[in-house]
Amino acid sequence: MGHGMAKHLVEKGFTTSILGHRKRAPVEDLVKRGAREASDVADLVKASDIVFLCVTGSPQVEDLIYRKGGILESARAGQIVVDTSTSMPFSTLKIAADLEAKDVRFVDAPLARTPVEAEEGRLNTMVGADAATFAEVEPALKAFCENIFHVGDVGAGHKIKLINNFAAIGQMALTAEALAACARLGVDPKKYFALVSTGAANSGLFQMVAGKAVEGDFTGMKFGLANALKDVRYYNQMAMEAGISGAMAPAVLNTLTNAVNLGFGTPGHLVASLVESQAKLNDVEFPPRS
């Protein structure tokens, strides 16, 4: 995601500093386009009015904020820090309070869609911030986002993102289980796909996952299975802390945990590998041989 975001910031005329990454090709490409590679976090913060974070989740965000020479230590009054990661809301609120003590504002703006849309400048984001801060960060967000939703004060962005991801990943888990059931029961998965495609149960997610899976391709949704597990784990934790009662979230978490335990959580496995996992659990081949 980060390469596409930074690329569009540079192209839209924003003076952009980036932090180096172990994968050098994207960094070197951005430098060629006009970005400046910062020497460390403190250097990047010093050069920025708005600091964007795009990392895996709360542990990585907290490290960038609280490490020696990190954002909290280096930030100056009036700066804005925007976390575009999918993070835990309770962590977001703590960071916001700690930064506020230095007159630094924190915004949660998690992203939706994939690295493909990031490269095209067509991401979606859901923003948690007060109205004045939102107005300040919106022009920068427009550089790489097609749809920007201001969903409430700080923390609201991460809450709604976790709800959204739980619902989406849950649908993909149901699709995977249904496809494996087809194989186990001797029903042609391609005929099931055709049936659902004409009815009310059809959806974009169903098409992305099932459309390719019935052909033996488990790359239809460009989202890692391990990241999906992380997001559903975050949702379950948030729901538990809020006293939300429900049976679906633990079931989806169990489905993803089983998949990772069966070996489908490596970087090469995308969320559609849930179909492979469910087939393995049910001792069937997928797609079935005709």
Q: What is the CATH number of the domain that holds 36?
A: 3.40.50.720
Q: Which of 86, 62, 97, 60 is nearest to 160 (CA)?
A: 86
Distance of CA 220 to the CA centre of its chain: 16
**Domain of 24, in residue numbers:** 2-154
Angle at 262 between CA 261 and CA 266, to 5 degrees: 80
pTM, full prediction: 0.95
Percent of the chain with pLDDT over 70: 100
* Residue matched to tokens 């991401």: 123
> For residue range 20-51, what is the model confidence (pLDDT) as tens digits?
888 899 999 999 999 999 999 999 999 999 99
Q: Which of 192, 193, 197, 221 is nearest to 208 (CA)?
A: 221
Q: Is residue 239 assigned to a domain?
A: yes
DSSP 52-78: EE--SSHHHHHHHHHSTTSHHHH--TT
Q: What is the pLDDT of residue 69?
A: 98
Residue 81 dihedral angles phi and psi, to the nearest 5°: -115, 125
Q: Strand pairing of 36-38 and 17-19?
A: parallel
Could you give the dihedral angle defined by the CA atoms of residues 20, 23, 26 and 31, in that order, rounded to the nearest 10 degrees? 40
Least confident of 20-29, 35-44, 232-241, 265-274: 20-29
Q: What is the pLDDT of residue 185?
A: 98
Q: Is residue 248 assigned to a domain?
A: yes
Q: Is residue 167 assigned to a domain?
A: yes
